[in-house]
Amino acid sequence: MSSTTPDIPRPGKPVRGSATGQPIMVLFDLLGRRWAMGILWNLAEQDCTFRTLQTRCASLSPTVLNTRLKELRAAGLVAKGDKGYTLTDDGHALYQRLEPLGDWAQSWVKTL
């Protein structure tokens, strides 16, 4: 991975779980990377600076945070704004679709 162009999964290219790179599997590959979902969840609550994100994700190293932010920015889900990092329109749309899964998971864990 180059420091300027993050290695993000792409449709049509093999990803974890899909030799053909189906779009849903490409998304799952990206979101399945360490802390990607945690970053999205925190940015859905409010824009955050790098330091604030690192504090909110207590065990997240600066290296991993920097890598994930680059990947999420390259994927068009996160942007860097005046107040730090923010979700893009696509990032907000994705979060709105993922949030009900979080609600479902809360009910599901009670059955385990």
**Residue ranges of domains in the chain, CATH in brackets:** 23-109 (1.10.10.10)
What per-residue confidence (pLDDT) applies to 1?
A: 45
Q: What is the pLDDT of residue 5?
A: 62
Q: CA 82, CA 88: separation in Å to the nearest integer?
A: 13
In the chain, the amino acid numbered 69 is L
pTM of the model: 0.87
Helix axis angle for 62-74 and 36-45, nearest 10°, is: 80
Both tokens assigned to 72: 């999420």
Give the closest residue to 34 by CA, choosing from 73, 12, 66, 2: 66
Q: What is the pLDDT along the chain (112 residues), one digit of tens a residue?
A: 445 567 888 888 888 888 888 899 999 999 999 999 999 999 999 999 999 999 999 889 999 999 999 999 999 999 998 889 999 999 999 999 999 998 899 999 999 9
pLDDT, residue 2, reads 45
CA-based R_g, the chain, Å: 15
